[in-house]
Structure 1
Amino acid sequence: MRLGIMQPYFFPYVGYFDVIRKTDKWVVFDVVKYQSKHWMNRNRILEPNKGEQYVTVPVDKRSSRELSDIAVKDPRQAGEKILRQLGVYRHAAPHYDAVHALVEETFASVGEGPVRLRDLNVAGLEKTCAMLGIAFDYEICSGLGLDFSNVQHAGQWALEICDQLGAAAYVNPSGGKAIFKPEDWRARGIDIAFTRMPDFRYEVGGKFTFLPNLSILDCLMWVGAEEVRGYLDTLPLDRDFAA
């Protein structure tokens, strides 16, 4: 089993889905502290003539600081605002209707009652993966009853999860490579493979200017699910830490 483990981000950039595509099983890593002004509750899309803008999900500041407990302040209002922001693409992006529906369905799926940010983000990942034709078999980390008492540094969280779930290999973005100690993984007999930072460039229209690594929503607006998936299919893995 090849495992992926990441915090649940809000409609993350295309590289996040490259990691999912290269795994057999996914662990939603929600046993960390919530960080404000982070990808947990916001991302970036284009704005005509101005470059970029943030789409943000406000959270209830009275919530616990654990990501697993962070609540969305007003899911209905947040969804409506983000859909209005996406309106800047309406007359320029060829796949506006499909992406608008994706976001609308994501918010509708979690309802208007008390909603955890984690669950909203997972719903977004699920629906985006379905659109891209990528399998997304996931577990929520906080519900697995794992033992993290041996974790001594950041790179060991993934090692303990992989070991306790019986994974043969772990996939991680290359940007996090420095936190891992190859000898720790070799001692457990678990391989690590790293994705490469994607350089996905595409044409944008109207008064927009292309910017890299925006939310997957921007990619899907301009090129559509089939082309995004085709691009992901070309990206290799780097296996630097073989067990």
Structure 2
Amino acid sequence: MKKVVVTQSNYIPWRGYFMNIKESDHLVLLDDVQFTRRDWRNRNQILTPQGKKWLTVPVNSKGQFGMHKICHTEINDPTWMNSHRSIIDQMYRKAPYYKQVMPFLNQLYDDVIGEKSLSMVNRHFLESICQYAHVDIDITWSTDHFDLRTLEEFDSTERLLNLCKAVKATSYISGPAAQAYMDVELFAQEGIEIIWADYSPLQPYPQLYEGFDGAVSIIDTLMMINSLGLKE
């Protein structure tokens, strides 16, 4: 049995993203697809006393929308990490695990100083957070398995299916929203089971501010409980 997740890289994603990774044996980062503005590729949210706040990695997209891929998306401000770490530091200074997590995050931001590739920044954060949370996973790019021209010839389902076959998957873990467009019969014909992600194991945990919002960045979860907060 080999469970695989094929998904686009996100910037400091929510814990449901990491839950799917933990349930799998191999993560394929699908960064050969179109970069979409105002999406999760280059931004995510944390909690503040005033509500949720976006942390956005500034990228070159003006005048290029719809014309470039995630893997070709470049960061256009070399100082972007300074504001992100400052805001996180201010908002989570009173969090239970601030003293453990903030040095870890500071090191991650130090590691990507000067990095222009959004994909590389996202991957570094994903790999490092997986290691921090003791999630053992193999990670590859979609372009490690097919060149860009070949990937462009596939429709969306064919791309996912062929990547699953390339890494010898027996099961494919997918977000539930994909049920609206995936041709599940193609997977069945290849003997690959589709597992629709179930986020019910994501348990509420204490947060710094009133109410509970579980859809924010994994940073909130790490700061508050120092784990992914999953039901075992």
Task: Assess same fold via TM > 0.5.
Answer: yes
Letter in 1 for 2:75: V
When structure 1 is superposed on structure 2, of 13-22 and 165-174 the one drifting more is 165-174
Question: Paired residue for 2:205?
Answer: 202
Unaligned runs of 5+ in 2: none
* Pick aligned residue for 1:160 from 132, 145, 162: 162
Percentage of matched positions with identical amino acids: 23
Letter in 2 for 1:108: D
Question: Paired residue for 1:54?
Answer: 54
How far residue 36 of structure 1 moved from its aligned partner, in angstroms, is: 1.2
1:185 pairs with 2:161: no
1-side partners of 2:68 and 2:184: how far apart? 32
2-side partners of 1:80 and 1:122: how far apart? 19
2-side partners of 1:41 and 1:124: how far apart? 12
1-side partners of 2:83 and 2:138: how far apart? 30
1:39 pairs with 2:40: yes
When structure 1 is superposed on structure 2, of 27-36 and 208-217 the one drifting more is 208-217
* Per-residue deviation, residues 201-233 of structure 1 (Å, max 9, x unmatched): 11123x5543221000011111112xx2xx435
Distance 1:99 1:55, change over 3 A: farther
When structure 1 is superposed on structure 2, of 177-186 and 1-10 the one drifting more is 177-186
* Pick aligned residue for 1:66 from 69, 78, 86: 69
Question: Paired residue for 1:10?
Answer: 11
For the residue of structure 1 that corresponds to 2:226, the secondary structure is helix
Letter in 2 for 1:2: K
Distance 1:17 1:109, change over 3 A: same
* Per-residue deviation, residues 18-77 of structure 1 (Å, max 9, x unmatched): 1111111111110111111110000000111x11101111113478721101111234x1
Q: How does 1:1-243 map to 2 (within 5 A)?
A: 1-48=2-49, 50-61=50-61, 65-75=68-78, 77-112=79-114, 114-146=115-147, 147-148=150-151, 151-152=154-155, 154-198=156-200, 199-205=202-208, 207=209, 209-225=211-227, 228=228, 231-234=229-232
Q: Is contact 2:203–2:231 with CA below 8 Å preserved after alignment?
A: no
1-side partners of 2:135 and 2:122: how far apart? 16
Letter in 2 for 1:165: V
Q: Is contact 1:174–1:197 with CA below 8 Å preserved after alignment?
A: no
Q: Is contact 2:46–2:53 with CA below 8 Å preserved after alignment?
A: yes
When structure 1 is superposed on structure 2, of 102-111 and 211-220 the one drifting more is 102-111
Distance 1:209 1:233, change over 3 A: closer
For the residue of structure 2 that corresponds to 1:93, the secondary structure is coil
Question: Paired residue for 1:239?
Answer: none
1-side partners of 2:12 and 2:139: how far apart? 16
How far residue 79 of structure 1 moved from its aligned partner, in angstroms, is: 0.9
How far residue 109 of structure 1 moved from its aligned partner, in angstroms, is: 2.0
RMSD (Å), alpha carbons? 2.1
How far residue 81 of structure 1 moved from its aligned partner, in angstroms, is: 0.4
Question: Paired residue for 1:237?
Answer: none
1-side partners of 2:104 and 2:37: how far apart? 25
Letter in 2 for 1:98: Q
1-side partners of 2:7 and 2:29: how far apart? 6
Distance 1:191 1:16, change over 3 A: same
TM-score when normalising by structure 2: 0.88
Unaligned runs of 5+ in 1: 235-243
